[in-house]
Structure formats: C-alpha cells, structure tokens
C-alpha cells in the first residue's frame, strides 16, 4: 500500500496461495518495538518513514500458503468482489 492509498481509508484484499485476507490499516509502532532494533529506532517501521511497515489484517478465507506463493494486493473494501490487482509481491 502506498501512503496515498492508506490516507483514503480504502481497504485492500491480500491473496496469497489459497488464503484471502482483508487489509484494513497500518499498525503504528510503539516504543515496545525498540528492543527489536540494534539502535532502538522503532520509527523505521512506521509507514511514513520507510519502504515497509506492519498492517492489520483479517483472514476472510482460510487456506494454505507454501514457499514461493505469490501475494497479490487488490483494492476494494469487499475482498470477495475481487478487483483487479494493483501490485504483486513475491
């Protein structure tokens, strides 16, 4: 998700293997994450500061994911509607 996509409040579907998840928002890091970084700078996982961050997701269709499965991010508040993919992660 790009920053502009997040700011609109839209939700996204993440399809990986046979699993369907609904991505609802970014998870803002807290100071409890500092211990996981050598320099203590947990702000690196904030969505506004770097190329990656954490998100909140809900499993809508459970299934199986195996090594080398592609992950496809699809826009749309209703992940069952299956919109066109906006990006592929592998």
Structurally, the chain folds into a number of domains equal to: 1
Query: If residue 79 lies in a helix (H) or strand (E), which one and from where to where?
Result: none
Rounded CA gap, 75 and 28, in Å? Answer: 21
Q: Which domain holds residue 35?
A: 3-89
Give 43-66 pLDDT, tens digit per residue. Answer: 888 888 878 788 888 898 999 999
Assess whether pLDDT exceeds 80 at residue 19: yes
What residues contact 90, with CB distance under 8 A and at least 6 apart? 68, 69, 70, 71
Please report the pLDDT score of residue 9 as a whole number: 57
**Greatest mean pLDDT among 1-5, 22-26, 66-70, 75-79:** 66-70
Q: Is the pTM of this model over 0.95?
A: no
* 49-84: burial string, b at 16+ Cβ within 10 Å, e else: eeeebebebeeeeeeeeeeeeeebbbbbeebeeeee
């Amino acid at each position: 998700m790009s920053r502009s996509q997040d700011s609109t409040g839209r939700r996204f579907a993440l399809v990986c293997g046979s699993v369907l998840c609904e991505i609802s928002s970014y998870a803002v890091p807290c100071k409890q994450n500092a211990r996981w970084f050598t320099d203590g700078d947990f702000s690196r996982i904030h969505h506004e500061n770097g190329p990656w961050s954490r998100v909140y997701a809900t499993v809508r269709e459970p299934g199986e994911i195996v090594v080398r499965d592609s992950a496809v991010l699809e826009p749309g508040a209703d992940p069952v509607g299956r919109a066109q993919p906006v990006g592929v992660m592998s």
